[in-house]
Amino acid sequence: MKNLIGLLVACSMHLGISQPTANDSLIKVSGGGFSQINEALFPGAVVYAGTGNNQVYVQHKGIQMWCDRAVFYRKDNFIRIFDHVRMNQGDSIKMSATYAEYNGKTEFAFASGHVEMNNPGTTLTTDSLFFDRSKQQAYYRSGGTVTDTASTLKSRIGRYFIAENRYQFLENVTVTNPEYTIDSDHLNFYTETGHAYMYGPSIIKGTTSTVYCERGFYDTRADEGYFIKNSRIDYNNRTVTGDSLYFNRGRSFASATNNIVVTDTINKSIIKGHYAEVYRAKDSVFITKRAVAISVQEQDSVYIHADTLMVTGPADDRIVRGFYDVRLFKSDLSGRCDSIITRQRTGLTKMITQPVLWSGNSQMTGDSIHIQSNTKTERLDSLHVFYNAFIIDQDSSGGFNQIKGKELLGKFNDSSALEVVHINKNVENLIYSRNEQQQLIGINKGTSGRMEVLFEAQEMSVITTFDHVEDITYPPEELPENARTLRGFIWRGDEIITTKEGLFKGQPVPVLPAIQGIPLPKIEEDFFKQDQKLEINKNSRLKGSDLQTRPSDTADGIRKKKAGHEG
């Protein structure tokens, strides 16, 4: 036995296996229990084997390797290492595997079998891994998992840029976090910050919300993100879209900028504008910059525009509030006021501060106006004008039929057109009387306790007075122009809104902020491309085709493949 050990040691010394060399480019091998030459099994190589805890030790230009067994092709400067393989590059990269091989000429390594690579903050596991030391990049294409302090990231293809602390994940990318998951086909992940950049169709799904975008940024540790290009946030009963979206899961908050649409899927309502804030936990939406709320109905939607709109309350009891220069439009009804509040569960809309409402040619004003809708049919049911009620109907001669009283009660027909109006208490009237040929025959002025007005084709047709009626009909020529209006008369016909586009009449077009874009990912150089063609040692497990990027493994190839499947 002593003679055998002595022979092996002598052989080792003769071959210069563990002796220092002046050529720093040569792989150095030492340690282990013994080494030998076996030309039959490994022509031109020296075989090293470790015993017990004494593993074979390999080093080359700052990279260190340990293994149970190694086959070193000194002439080719190429080594294969087996079992309990460990590779360290400084303090930053540590890798373990069942098998690895390393080419000292190209500084290119390949590892397989339960590969695990650790760098500060993340751990990569995969079946096989390519490592290019000259580029300081690692690459896999057979599926891999990266575990970071907050999330687990999986993909079929992955590439790690050591200098940038960045991963590029391609195809079937998933990020799993206790609070959410991300699905994408292209995601760049920075290990130091936990920042993720998504390209192409991507989905972030949590228990209370789902985000979709085709270009976006997400901070996986702070749980917040910024999304552009077809971005959308889906809550349980609301969908928010816009040119750009910001999302913070911890605060249950989202904001949107430019061309925003907030859709309430339960109540069939839509809110539009150019800036919005959504507080999911509070069931609250704030929107401004050409804000308009649309109550979608089968035949005739209702539009409410205001400087600022707020929607609060749970799905079964939404409350819409509008502030400053409120405008309302329906095909047969329009109005204006300073502020408005509408409650969807009760169907009641309150117009407050200088309200005015037009139905056809009839104008109604008062201290406040309430409009009641039928919550089942979603049609207008009735209206109530409180205090200083005043109804004006423009006559074909240019004059104005006028009725005023303390309050006004109106009823709409099944087509949501004003059908009948009751004016109560301290009623005054000034009515233009015409014959069947529509010729003006007199102007009636009077007072009464109450009055009923029937409408036909949205015009006053039959007027009936009750209680303490006092009327005088004047020939037109006997009633001067300055006596043809009642006290408090104000005609606001130039404010009538006849189309939904008229909601914004007289208002400046808002200046929209430029959206801060997320640049497209740079086109990465082929991982396998080098100044000289990668050398494949004849003793390598790899083939020449293994050191080539397949078209199906590129971002463009993945997009084309997916498009083909979807088509």
The set of residues, in sequence order, having a beta carbon less than 8 Å from that of 57 and lying 6+ positions away, is 29, 30, 31, 32, 64, 65, 66
Exposure string of 450-481, with b = 16+ CB inside 10 Å and e = fewer, is bbebebeebbbeebebeeeeeeeebeeeebee
Query: Any idea which residue has 């700052």 for tokens?
Result: 62
Q: Find the mean pLDDT for residues 89-93.
A: 88
- The number of beta carbons lying within 10 Å of the beta carbon of residue 127 is 15
The rounded percent of the chain whose pLDDT value lies above 70 is 95
In the predicted model, is pLDDT for residue 563 greater than 80? no
pLDDT at 1: 34
Give the integer Cα–Cα distance in Å for 191 and 204: 19
SS3 (DSSP) at 83: strand
Half-sphere exposure of 310 (CA within 13 A, CB side): 12
Give CA torsion, residues 146, 147, 153, 159, to 10 deg: -20
Distance CA 294, CA 214 (A): 28
pLDDT at 17 over 60: no
User: What is the average per-residue pLDDT within 15-31?
Assistant: 63
**pLDDT of 371 over the 90 cut:** yes
| pLDDT 10s digits, 463-484 | 888 998 898 999 988 999 889 9
Burial classification of residue 121, based on how many CB atoms lie within 10 Å of its CB (0-12 exposed, 13-18 middle, 19 or more buried): middle
Q: What is the pLDDT of residue 426?
A: 92
Q: Are 113 and 97 in contact (CB under 8 A)?
A: yes
Q: In the beta sheet, which residues pair with residue 43?
A: none
**Other beta carbons less than 10 A from residue 352's beta carbon:** 16
What is the distance between the alpha carbons of residues 338 and 367, in angstroms, rounded to a whole number? Answer: 11
**Residue 553 backbone phi and psi in degrees, to 5:** -100, 5
Return d(Cα 68, Cα 55) in angstroms, integer.
Answer: 5
Q: Does the pLDDT value for residue 23 go beyond 70?
A: no
DSSP per residue over 203-268, as a string? EEEESSEEEEEEEEEEETTTTEEEEEEEEEEEESSEEEEEEEEEEETTTTEEEEEEEEEEEETTTT
Q: Are 153 and 167 in contact (CB under 8 A)?
A: yes
Burial label for 188, CB within 10 Å (0-12, 13-18, 19+), is: buried
Half-sphere CA count of 388, side-chain side, radius 13 A? 12
412-418-422 Cα angle (round to 5): 85
| Amino acid found at 128 | S
- The phi, psi pair for 328, rounded to 5°, reads -125, 140
Q: Phi first, then psi: what are they for 299, rounded to 5°? A: -105, -30
Q: Give per-residue pLDDT as tens, 507-546.
A: 998 889 888 889 888 888 899 987 666 778 899 999 988 9
Residue pair 492/356 in contact (Cβ under 8 Å)? The answer is: yes
Per-residue pLDDT of 134-175, as tens digits, reads 999 999 999 999 999 889 999 999 999 999 999 999 999 999
**Whole-number Å distance between alpha carbons of 288 and 274:** 6
Alpha-carbon span 565 to 172, nearest angstrom: 14
Residue 11 pLDDT exceeds 60: no
